[in-house]
Amino acid sequence: MQKLTGKRIAILVQNLPVPFDRRVWQEAKALTDAGAAVSVVCPSDDKHPSGNFRIDGVRVLRYRAPREAGGVAGYVNEYGTSLLRMRSALREARREGAFDAIHFCNPPDLLFAVAQPYKQRDGSRLVFDQHDLGPELVRAKRLPLNSFFVSVAKLAEKLTYRAADHVIATNESYKAIAVERGQFRENEVTVVRSGPAREWAQNVDDRDWHGSHKYLIGYVGVMGRQEGIEYLIEAMAVLTRELGLDVGLALVGSGPDRARLERLAEQLGLADNVKFLGRLSDADLRSVLRDSDVCVNPDEVNEMNNLSTMNKIMEYMALGRPIVQFDVKEGRYSAAEASRYAQSNDASSLASELHFVLQNPEEASRMGQYGRNRFREQLSWEVQASKLVDAYRTLLDEVPERVDEHVEPSGH
């Protein structure tokens, strides 16, 4: 018998649609494979239309995402509209029967407000999947009126913890924070790391992305200020001008800081070396990274990045790429000997470590093989999925079976 047969679970996510949000989709599939009936409520985007779908056995309810906007009024409108539409979609999913558990993800730390009425009316257990640390993320963005927004983030996190019966943390640092700030017991927090499945790194297109350059450095990720990509571009200036390397940089992804970074590359005379490829298909992304001689994570050293596990590190390791990054706690834990570590927020040090890897192919090969093995044996999704399912089995076994009443909570 499957571990979760007969259980109904809803998953709420506000910032990305599924199946594009890989972690949430993997969680939904793992719970479905364990026998649960899973519904995911998420936003739409230009490639994932709104509506009610069934994909690979998972019911997906996408609400029409509001337009993103900046400023206080913009955020209030965006999040307020999202919560109302999410509430309606969850109410629709509830028509098939009460949920044994509702699994809600951040950011933002607001989705407890949609889930909590079902805890009160149906006895649904609430599971908080903590993808980010809200207060630390706000501090890292260095917004105007930052102290005010940090206070709001702390309150939202506190209310989220208070509502949850169990926390899913992406690493041990997040677990420690849930225990300390959320006052959970150790057995009420389960670490389920993010990362691709082993098959993700298989059957990669063998394409040449080097162009006219002898070496290629690869990067994938969001282009925001806290991602530290300016350090990487400045390191490229050191590599090409001071160290004389014929090297290109492939940047996969986009974000609010892209235009500034493009201007910086042009100002430094690196337009021919630095290529902004934008968002690519998964197949092209894997092809770029596999063809890179070294992959890099230039996330600046700050409180948020020090405690967070970055998906890009898992992807680099899955593809057997040597890595260079600044020395952050969770980055070092994940990559270990698959990476070399530059001095904090120092472009020259980053360039020096990249130069070492490019000039020492035997060491680069050793690093890549170490990373691939570590990923497959300890960090791949196959290893993590069983932890998620076991956490749910324990949580839901604590609750006696109830008679399902097809009554919807009022939401008040």
User: Residue 283: phi, psi to the nearest 5?
Assistant: -65, -45
pLDDT at 76: 85
How far apart, in Å, are the Cα atoms of 245 and each of 7, 325, 349?
A: 58, 19, 16
pLDDT digits (tens, 9 = 90+) for 348-397: 999 999 999 999 999 999 999 999 999 999 999 999 999 999 999 999 99
Q: How confident is the model at residue 398 (pLDDT cuts 50, 70, 90)?
A: low
**Same domain? 153 vs 239:** no
**Same domain? 35 vs 178:** yes
Does the pLDDT of residue 410 top 60, yes or no?
Answer: no
pLDDT at 233: 98
**Same domain? 234 vs 363:** yes
CATH of the domain at 319: 3.40.50.2000
**Same domain? 97 vs 223:** no
Does the pLDDT of residue 190 top 70, yes or no?
Answer: yes
- Mean per-residue pLDDT, 327-343: 97
Instruction: Flag whether 409 is in a domain.
Output: no
pLDDT digits (tens, 9 = 90+) for 206-254: 999 999 999 999 999 989 888 999 999 999 999 999 999 999 999 999 9
Range of the structural domain that residue 338 is part of: 199-377
- Mean per-residue pLDDT, 66-75: 75
Count of domains observed in the chain: 2
DSSP H or E segment with residue 59 = strand 58-63
**Same domain? 45 vs 179:** yes
**Same domain? 220 vs 331:** yes
Does the pLDDT of residue 260 top 50, yes or no?
Answer: yes
**Same domain? 219 vs 178:** no
3-state secondary structure of 100: coil
With b for 16 or more beta-carbon neighbours within 10 A and e for fewer, the 142-166 pattern comes to eeeeeeebbebbeebbbebbebbbb
**Same domain? 156 vs 218:** no
Instruction: Flag whether 403 is in a domain.
Output: no
Beta strands in 229-345 (DSSP E): 247-252, 274-278, 294-297, 323-326, 339-342
**Same domain? 360 vs 386:** no
**Same domain? 206 vs 120:** no
pLDDT digits (tens, 9 = 90+) for 80-128: 999 999 999 999 999 999 999 999 999 999 999 999 999 999 999 999 9
> Distance between CA 191 and CA 387 in Å, rounded?
8
pLDDT at 2: 78
Instruction: Flag whether 3 is in a domain.
Output: no
pLDDT at 407: 43
Instruction: Flag whether 56 is in a domain.
Output: yes
What is the DSSP code (8-state) at residue 251? E
pLDDT at 74: 78
**Same domain? 124 vs 70:** yes
Instruction: Flag whether 328 is in a domain.
Output: yes
Does the pLDDT of residue 411 top 80, yes or no?
Answer: no
The better pLDDT of the pair 66, 157 is held by 157
**Same domain? 107 vs 63:** yes
Instruction: Flag whether 229 is in a domain.
Output: yes
% pLDDT > 90, the chain: 87
Q: Give how far the C-alpha of residue 201 lies from the chain's centroid of Cα atoms, to the nearest Å.
A: 18
Q: How confident is the model at residue 312 (pLDDT cuts 50, 70, 90)?
A: very high
Q: Is 56 left (phi over 0), alpha (psi -120 to 50) or beta?
A: left
Which of 329-338, 385-394, 399-408 bottoms out in mean pLDDT, i.e. has the lowest? 399-408
Picking from 386, 409, 391, 410, the residue whose alpha carbon sits closest to that of residue 9 is 391
Instruction: Flag whether 411 is in a domain.
Output: no
Mean pLDDT of the chain: 94
Instruction: Flag whether 134 is in a domain.
Output: yes
